[in-house]
Amino acid sequence: MDFPQQVLLLCLLSLPPVCVFAQTRSNITVGESFSAGNNSPWVVSPSGDFAFGFHPLEDNDELFLVSIWYANIPERTIVWYPSGDNPAPPAPKGSKLMLTADGGLVLTSPDGGELWKPDNIFSRVSHGALNDDGTFVLEDSKFSSVWETFKNPSDTLLPSQTLEKEGTLSSRLSYTNFSRGRFELLLRDDGNLVFRSINIPSDNANENYYESGTVKSNTSSPGFQLVFNKSGELYILRENGERFNFPDWKRASAAQSYLRATLDFDGVFTLYQHPKNSSVKEGWTPLGSLPDNICKKSLVNEGSGVCGYNSICTLDDSKRPNCQCPKGYSLLDPKDPYGSCKPDFIQGCEEDDLSQRKDLYRFEELTNIDWPLADYVLLKPFTEEKCKQSCMEDCFCAVAIFRLGDSCWKKKLPLSNGRFDTGLDGGKAFIKVRKDNSTLVGPVNPIIIKKDQNTLILVGSVLLGSSVFVNCMLIGAICLSFLSIYRYKKKLNRINKSDGTVETNLRCFSYKELEEATNGFSEELGRGAFAVVYKGVINMSSCTHVAVKKFNRFLMQNIEKEFRTEVDVIGQTHHKNLVRLLGFCEDGEERLLVYECMRNGSLDGLLFSDSKPSWNLRLKIANGIARGLLYLHEECSTQIIHCDIKPQNILLDDSYNARISDFGLAKLLKMNQSHTNTGLRGTKGYVALEWFRNMPVTTKVDVYSFGVVLLEIICCRRSVDMETQNEDKAILTDWAYDCYKEGNLDVLVEHDNEAIGDRNNLEKLVMIAMWCIQEDPSLRPTMRKVTQMLEGVVEVLVPPCPCPFNMGKDQYSGYECGTTSSDDNSNVTPP
């Protein structure tokens, strides 16, 4: 083989590696370019974690965004794109991105027009590189940085990235629209990290809806940097080297997970985690977010708030805002769910005069809803009826808010900062909606009417022009078609719950039936965050007293899950210690549940009244609750974790038998499932600590709650009493253990001669409660063991200190245990 052939063979052998390198390289040099439309990225980081190039937009595959994204996960998550004061527009297919010596990266359209280039490049560029930390850097011939994406962030911070003073993150406009959004994160020159909304398209900023407070004071120095270090820790570094950490944020390893901190398009700053190596397809999991409730914290004097005008903000399970229009209103832009809402009817003084102001409107009533900055008059003292009447007669009034028993606020459009807030204590919002459909904005669609008329004419012509036999055949076919459709829908309603329908093994009521049964929802029995319970009477073979739980239909996204969980869970249970569900109503937007009425109310009303119930009755109630939980955990066809055991959810029937109720937060486990991982549920004071520690949640969370309730039954006092003059008694679980340890149980049941006279039972119940509230879930007994201990079948051993891991008061439990050897939980097994 002569020399030229050897050279040719050597070149051919070297081609595959060169090609592979070209596809996965991390560096580019001056003069190289890349075109929009190529499926592969321009450069990839050495580790393969990040890619840089053109990314097609989700809603338009003919437009491409210059961006950096994660290369190794199915959902292409963008972590950088040109934004802020110098954004790059989405580029049409065929656009070119070139590295030049003078301008750095230059984006040009297919016809050669310049679309974008970086600002403030004063040195000649030699090459560019995408590093393993996700930053793209332009360097000169001496390998000094000329420009980099970490110093020009968009909406995301990555581990190893810092934000200096006056540095900003700007949210995108929506999940798929990368134009400048309405929210901004800024580390101010005084060291304070703030979030604020922007009145786009201007740069005018509204007041802050979050502040870190890291300014100079007598005890601390100001903030210096927002740091996201290589280990995945996110904090504000003060000038004196101290850290300001964000509270209650979970930790994750940057070595095992992809981490990013993003100012999302809805204004929430969130730390996300995605496992790097997992056999299961997993998405991004939030580890922490700020503010904790953007619906309340984003209250601003200017602008609309996190949602548009006339909209209402509610939080979902992941603390993200949902924006919804009230009934009678619809989105101004149907493509923007976070935008403003417009009334679907004409309202105004002139229009009302033309209609002679006679019975024009009705009210839509919402609970715990307010638009706090739209008031134009406060009427006080005032009654609810006078409040409604005043708004009805006022052509300016769009909404009336009645709160605090005697205060009426009238509001006019546009309404801003609308939100759902349980802190409004059941305040009512009366939204004025036009009755007459003929006054709705916009004409009825004439195309649909014409189409329907043409269809009727065609059917009539066929019937009249055909023979009797053909007509009979045609009518028979139509009937069979309707019958088939009916049977198909009935089958779906019966067997398919996954599509959102409810099984019909319970009686399905119409809304009108329940409205009549409750006399127009007139007599209220109680209320919660999402629903109000009314007293009623229904004829079900005989007159039956019922309790009708009416969900707030405005909070549809929140209540739909709770409504279906309650129907699914309680619909398959049958036990004397569970409340009985008689039926439900799923009529349009209305969601109601019908229960048998428990005439003796809830356990909290019995325990915390002026007079203590008898000791034997309390023992009976404790046993009943335990048996009900045992049924849910072990004897029901599907294992159920209630997740919200507390006295308010224990009802008492005519014989004072305990009935567990309110399964809206319950969690069902599959046959082969012993635990679950789910968001925090329940009521503070009754919630086990594993909820806060990202531990698997088992039936032991109900055992913990039962232990707290058992102590309340024993002592006839609430688990938390901050009004007591003796601070040692404020937290019942803490105080009860101290009394037990000191052998001073009489203090727990002061002036209760029945309980003091039954000391053996008293001590046994306190010991059972101490086992139930163990901080370590593995030390808590099962509910079967609890019932056996209550019934005297199993001996109750001496319980250890409930909180061996918390020396000092825990912010959730309030325990404070001693350090004596008798409190050592090593080698302890549950009873």
Q: Of the candidates 79, 186, 77, which has an alpha carbon nearest to the alpha carbon of residue 136?
A: 79
Phi and psi torsions of 447, nearest 5°: -65, -40
Q: Of the candidates 375, 420, 380, which has an alpha carbon nearest to the alpha carbon of residue 400?
A: 375
List residues bridging with 329 in a β-sheet.
343
Q: Which residue has the tokens 């390289």?
A: 25
Do 524 and 462 meet the contact criterion of CB atoms below 8 Å apart? no
List residues bridging with 716 in a β-sheet.
none
Do 195 and 209 meet the contact criterion of CB atoms below 8 Å apart? yes
- The β-bridge relationship of strands 658-660 and 399-403 is unpaired
255: which 2 tokens? Answer: 């070595």
Q: Peptide bond preceding 291: is omega within 30 degrees of 0, i.e. cis?
A: yes
**Cα(217)–Cα(781) distance, integer angstroms:** 50
Start-to-end CA distance of the chain, whole Å, equals 87
Do 625 and 709 meet the contact criterion of CB atoms below 8 Å apart? yes
Strands of 161-163's sheet, edge to edge? 161-163, 223-228, 234-238, 243-245
Question: What distance lies between CA 386 and its chain's CA centroid?
Answer: 37
**Cα(705)–Cα(686) distance, integer angstroms:** 5
Whether 644 is catalytic is yes
530: which 2 tokens? Answer: 């999402």
Half-sphere exposure for 138 (CA within 13 Å, toward CB): 26
277: which 2 tokens? Answer: 């190596």
**Cα(666)–Cα(578) distance, integer angstroms:** 13
Residues 6+ apart with CB under 8 A from 19: none
Do 84 and 186 meet the contact criterion of CB atoms below 8 Å apart? no
93: which 2 tokens? Answer: 């297919």
Q: Peptide bond preceding 201: is omega within 30 degrees of 0, i.e. cis?
A: yes
CA distances from 318 to 119, 172, 185, 538 (A): 37, 20, 20, 39
794: which 2 tokens? Answer: 């199993």
- The β-bridge relationship of strands 507-508 and 581-587 is parallel
**Cα(230)–Cα(255) distance, integer angstroms:** 9
**Cα(593)–Cα(564) distance, integer angstroms:** 10
User: At 792, which helix (H) or strand (E)?
Assistant: none
**Cα(289)–Cα(304) distance, integer angstroms:** 22
Q: Which residue has the tokens 């509230």?
A: 773
**Cα(320)–Cα(314) distance, integer angstroms:** 8
Do 783 and 699 meet the contact criterion of CB atoms below 8 Å apart? yes
Do 762 and 745 meet the contact criterion of CB atoms below 8 Å apart? yes
SS3 breakdown of the chain: % helix, strand, coil, rounded to 5?
Answer: 25, 25, 45
Q: Which position among 644, 662, 702, 734 bears the catalytic label?
A: 644
Give the other-Cβ count within 10 Å of 356's Cβ: 8
Per DSSP, the three-state class of 709 is helix
Q: Which positions are annotated as active-site residues? A: 644
